[in-house]
A and B are shown apart, each in its own frame.
Chain A
């Protein structure tokens, strides 16, 4: 048994009362969870403390909270871990802080309203199978290996930890968000679904869709089940932009292709060319910038002028798109060769399901980590 101090963000819905912090001390086995700590507080000290929970085994996804600022499940975080984390910056005996999830309205104490910020967005991506044609007489038959690909997104328990941590949603509450987009991949990647292109088109054209993810890894870090929502968003982009050639209004595919092509030609980034090509590809040839791109290009003019004035972009190669130098010697030739090789194979190695296609592997650290993560997914906390 050990003493733990819990600093809990409280909020009562009665009008006129703001949120406040309250400290509780509990005496518990350090291997027990933060949720156990909260439940002891509720049972023995303050029956009015509200927290949502059910399975206590990281399966039901009910007890999403922020512990020391990190979005996670209260039942999956040991008291000892949480204390160590709370203390690590200054070594003092800091309390474990527990707050309701972020990006969501708080109903009471640690209970948030997930309807507007999570469930509506999940429904937004049509989270059910839309098969084409008449249904078969019996079940749909698909090769098992084609379903392995979507198992990662199927591990989601809808806890909302990724939504809570999402830094794009913090800046844009309308962002479809990590949980819903991971769910979208679950159906885009399903060989039985007949609306793949329509789904992708919808999410690529939406200004709050796949191209609004700011690539911050916050959802990857927060997810207690290894779903890595951001990785799924990048796969959606990859399929939308490459496989389906969806030319979105958000400059997503154009930016990606411009970047990829510049590195093939130059080896390092020609920033002037990237800006131009992202908005108006082929401006020097047939001037055919897409709608909206001209405005976007104009929006960037003040920034470009400031870059010149400050001396950031004063040399010709930074001002004139395309004159950025190639890599020295024959290096550029080798980069081009790499492109040809990789475009021919396009192998995607998903560490979550690694080992299916490639039986090899060695005993280095990264592999161990990936395997630990898989085991952690299956093993419930004691």
Chain B
């Protein structure tokens, strides 16, 4: 791709960004427009399985994701997602599909009737966080900032699925993927808050099975970030967002802490720095108040 050309992706928004966190899907669209990233939405694609379908039947999860990859390949574009969990679940299936030709042919056999086939050759699937740093570029992002997040103290929260296991998630080629949130926060003019939970688990996967353990995880990380002086957290994972934001009052009860910390989706934080109206970015749709964050930002001059 020549540098003059704008970025263009086959875009998989995932389920939760169109379900309980529509503000993520909406803010991504606004940010993509500002950054001139063209997104071709894969509206026929299916859920990644979030690890749960693989737990039930590995081949089923692999085939469902092979279908999504094949739909992306039909567009001739690299694929982008906005959910750490989609990234992790899809990378896991992809690792198996790529490792064995006979298995891949078997899986592709199930896709043939729809005229689809997944070919590992040249395929790419990246979370928006990775796209921002590796394809868009931090300097270019910096140049687009009209409302630097000066004085805003932001705690990164990655989500397990873009961190581990490293070899499956492309860390051999991109060893600093677990430092990108910090880099983005700095590029947007914000201050990175270091706290213990940035690379730990939000607890979401066990919220329906082991509720107290789940909420203790979320509450502990929120409390640690608040103790470290964070004004907000930022996450590339809508499932982390659900446990950290929507469940925050419940997490407060379990941990016995007074929790009140805004949890922003990555495109929301980027959007604020690009000068997009906080309301348009859906900051009013959170459970934990985002007012403190909005109040700390300079209004953008028209």
Partners in one complex: yes
**Chain A interface (Cβ < 8 Å from any Cβ of B):** 88-89, 167-168, 170-172, 175, 207, 211-218, 220-221, 234, 237-238, 241-242, 250-252, 255-257, 259-260, 263, 267-271, 275, 278-279, 296, 299, 302-303, 306-307, 310-313, 318, 327-329, 331, 334-335, 337-339, 341-343, 345-349, 351, 354, 358-362, 364-367, 369-370, 373
Known pairs A171-B203, A347-B106; A360 contacts B101 (CB<8 A): yes
List which B64-114 residues lie within 8 A (CB) of chain A: 64, 67, 88, 94-96, 98-103, 105-106, 109-111, 113-114
State in angstroms the CA–CA spacing of A167 and B287 once bound together: 25
Among B63, B120, B209, B220: residue with most chain A CB under 10 A = B209
Among B46, B96, B106, B220: residue with most chain A CB under 10 A = B46
Known pairs A220-B164, A271-B20; A237 contacts B55 (CB<8 A): yes
Q: Which residue of B lies closest to A168 (CB)?
A: B213
Report the stretch among B31-39, B242-250, B270-278 that lies at the interface.
B242-250
B52 in the interface, Cβ–Cβ < 8 Å?
yes
B58, B163, B205: which contacts A214 (Cβ < 8 A)?
B205
Known pairs A212-B206, A269-B16, A303-B250; A171 contacts B220 (CB<8 A): yes
**Can you give 14 A-B contacts (C-beta < 8 A)?**
A216-B205, A217-B88, A217-B163, A218-B164, A238-B57, A259-B50, A259-B53, A260-B53, A310-B285, A328-B44, A334-B113, A358-B100, A361-B99, A361-B101
Which residues on A sit within 8 Å (CB–CB) of B200? 167, 170, 216
Known pairs A250-B210, A334-B114; A354 contacts B100 (CB<8 A): yes
Q: Write the nearest CB–CB distance from B205 to chain A, whole angstroms.
A: 4
List which B196-247 residues lie within 8 A (CB) of chain A: 200-201, 203, 205-206, 208-211, 213-214, 216-217, 220, 246-247
Question: Binding site of B, secondary structure by majority: helix, strand, loop or mixed?
Answer: helix
B110 x A338 contact (CB < 8 A)? yes
**Chain B interface (Cβ < 8 Å from any Cβ of A):** 15-16, 18-22, 43-44, 46-47, 49-60, 62-64, 67, 88, 94-96, 98-103, 105-106, 109-111, 113-114, 120, 160-161, 163-168, 172, 175-176, 179, 182, 200-201, 203, 205-206, 208-211, 213-214, 216-217, 220, 246-247, 249-250, 284-287
Q: Write the nearest CB–CB distance from A222 to chain B, whole angstroms.
A: 9
A337 x B160 contact (CB < 8 A)? no
A88, A172, A221: which contacts B175 (Cβ < 8 A)?
A88
State in angstroms the CA–CA spacing of A266 and B239 once bound together: 19
A213, A252, A255, A364: which contacts B120 (Cβ < 8 A)?
A364
Which residues on A sit within 8 Å (CB–CB) of B213? 168, 171-172, 175, 212, 214
Q: Write the nearest CB–CB distance from B26 to chain A, whole angstroms.
A: 11
Which residues on A sit within 8 Å (CB–CB) of B21? 312
Q: Write the nearest CB–CB distance from A340 to chain B, whole angstroms.
A: 9
State in angstroms the CA–CA spacing of A358 and B182 once bound together: 42
B209 x A255 contact (CB < 8 A)? yes
Which residues on B sit within 8 Å (CB–CB) of A299? 211
Known pairs A216-B201, A329-B44, A335-B46; A252 contacts B209 (CB<8 A): yes
Q: Which residue of A lies closest to B56 (CB)?
A: A260
A234, A267, A275, A358: which contacts B102 (Cβ < 8 A)?
A358
Q: Write the nearest CB–CB distance from B147 to chain A, whole angstroms.
A: 24
Q: Write the nearest CB–CB distance from B95 to chain A, whole angstroms.
A: 5
16 additional contacts, CB 8 Å, given A260-B56, A260-B57, A358-B100?
Answer: A167-B217, A211-B206, A215-B206, A216-B160, A218-B201, A241-B56, A267-B46, A310-B286, A312-B287, A328-B43, A331-B46, A341-B110, A361-B101, A362-B101, A364-B98, A366-B120
Which residues on A sit within 8 Å (CB–CB) of B55? 234, 237-238, 241, 256
B19, B51, B111, B250: which contacts A215 (Cβ < 8 A)?
B51
State in angstroms the CA–CA spacing of A279 and B284 once bound together: 30
B101 x A172 contact (CB < 8 A)? no
